[in-house]
């Protein structure tokens, strides 16, 4: 799994490539928490279009990012969910809790 960030004035986009599972979800969580809690970036966007699989620990990292964002009145957005990623969010009844878009253009114009 690789995670990189693109920054603009009020937005950070994390581009994630590979599977998010027990081996690397702490890395995702760390990046998210730094961006939300420390930098307080107004809008954090997760590009998951190159993520084929997310396990429960990956979902937990996304939930932590969402909760931290809500606590600070910031926005946390996902886009590009694979069928597998969409399924785990549906199974955990979180799909409607997250702000989810099909692609980056939609996410940034929202």
Partner 1 sequence: MRQRDKTGVSPASNDGFLLKLELHSDPRLLTVVRGALERLTEVFGFSPPDRRSVTRAVDEALTNIMRHCYNGRTDQPIELYCRRVPPDASQVADGLEILLCDRGPAVDPAKMRGRRLDEIKPGGLGLHFIRQSMDTVEYHRTGSTNQFRLVKYLQPMTQSRTP
- In sequence order, the 6+-apart residues with CB closer than 8 A to the CB of 50 are 15, 16, 17, 18, 80
Q: Give the Cβ contact number of residue 44 at 10 Å.
A: 25
Instruction: Answer yes or no whether residue 17 interacts with partner 1 by CB under 8 A.
Output: no
Instruction: Answer yes or no whether residue 73 interacts with partner 1 by CB under 8 A.
Output: no
Number of chain residues interacting with partner 1 (CB under 8 A): 24
**Interface residue with partner 1, options 63, 95, 99, 108 (CB under 8 A):** 63
Instruction: Answer yes or no whether residue 57 interacts with partner 1 by CB under 8 A.
Output: yes
**Interface residue with partner 1, options 64, 75, 95, 108 (CB under 8 A):** 64
**Ramachandran class of 4: left when φ > 0, alpha when ψ lies in -120 to 50, beta otherwise:** beta
Instruction: Answer yes or no whether residue 66 interacts with partner 1 by CB under 8 A.
Output: yes
Instruction: Report DSSP state, residue 29.
Output: H
């Amino acid at each position: 799994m690789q995670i990189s960030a693109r920054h603009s004035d009020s937005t950070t986009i994390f581009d994630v490539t590979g599977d998010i599972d027990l081996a690397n979800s702490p890395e995702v969580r760390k990046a998210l928490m730094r961006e939300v809690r420390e930098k307080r970036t107004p809008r954090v966007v997760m590009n998951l279009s190159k993520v084929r699989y997310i396990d429960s620990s990956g979902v937990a990292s996304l939930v932590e990012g969402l909760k931290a964002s809500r606590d600070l009145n910031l926005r946390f957005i996902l886009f590009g969910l694979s069928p597998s990623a969409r399924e785990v969010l549906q199974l955990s009844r979180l799909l409607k809790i997250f702000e989810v878009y099909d692609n980056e253009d939609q996410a940034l114009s929202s």
